[in-house]
Amino acid sequence: MFNRGVERRATFLDEVNYRRFYKTIVYYQNENVPTRFSFRSRKLIRPKEASGRKMIEVICFCLMPNHFHLLLKQTLDKGIPTYLGKLTNSYTRYFNTKYKREGHLFQAPYKAVRIESEEQLLHVSRYIHLNPLVGGVTPDLRSYKWSSCQEYFGFSLETVCQKHEILNYFPNPKEKNYEKFVLDQTDYARSLEKIKTQLLDETLY
């Protein structure tokens, strides 16, 4: 699942914004939560502490300056659209209040692709994790805090994602083999991004 800011505007302006969206990703996974995230205490409530059934599971994610990617597994009927509505509405309220703006922050509708095979699942996870590197946001995925890459590579103590959905396809040591699976495609992904950019530029003239 993918969505970007309206008019390609930046949706994350500083580390506080990124952290807020990250916490919102965690908070709204369950069907019922104690309060709206905007009015609750700063203590982050994990899904297991919230009431109600779990709507979705996060497989992996990536936050970029003007867009985000989420790979989700639906565990409740209509769980994904309900979750995404709560996620983006909550963050938009926060962002608009903080920066004194009005209106939509993200484009509508969001773009979603249904995963149809194990191979597609693995390649989508790799595409999501390569985004900051290919997009020139960071020179090193291991140091990029706003994706699940650190969690998958074994550099993060925080556990948000259901990593087994991906890592079960890799032999031990799973994290190192998955890291190689992702990084081995860096140059190829960069070349595709360059070609895509050139094609887009050509269509403007």
With vertex at residue 114, the alpha carbon angle to CA 110 and CA 117, rounded to the nearest 5 degrees, is 150
| Residues near 97 by beta carbon (within 8 Å), at least 6 away in sequence | 38
Q: From edge to edge, which strands make up the β-sheet containing 2-4?
A: 2-4, 67-74, 56-64
Q: Which of 117, 115, 186 is nearest to 149 (CA)?
A: 186
pLDDT for residue 54:
92
Kindly report the pTM of this predicted structure. Answer: 0.86
State the Cα–Cα distance between residues 143 and 187, nearest whole angstrom: 18
Report pLDDT digits (tens) over 32-67.
Answer: 876 667 655 445 545 455 557 899 999 999 999 999
The total number of structural domains that make up the chain: 1
What is the reported pLDDT for 42?
Answer: 47
What pLDDT does residue 55 have?
95
CATH of residue 114: 3.30.70.1290
Q: Helix, strand, or coil here: 58?
A: strand
Ranges in the chain, pLDDT < 50? 41-42, 45, 47, 199-205
Beta strands in 75-152 (DSSP E): none
CB distance 117 to 123 below 8 Å: no
Domain hosting residue 157, numbered range: 2-202
Q: In whole angstroms, how far apart are CA 199 and each of 63, 156, 162, 190, 193?
A: 25, 37, 36, 14, 10
Q: What is the pLDDT of residue 193?
A: 66
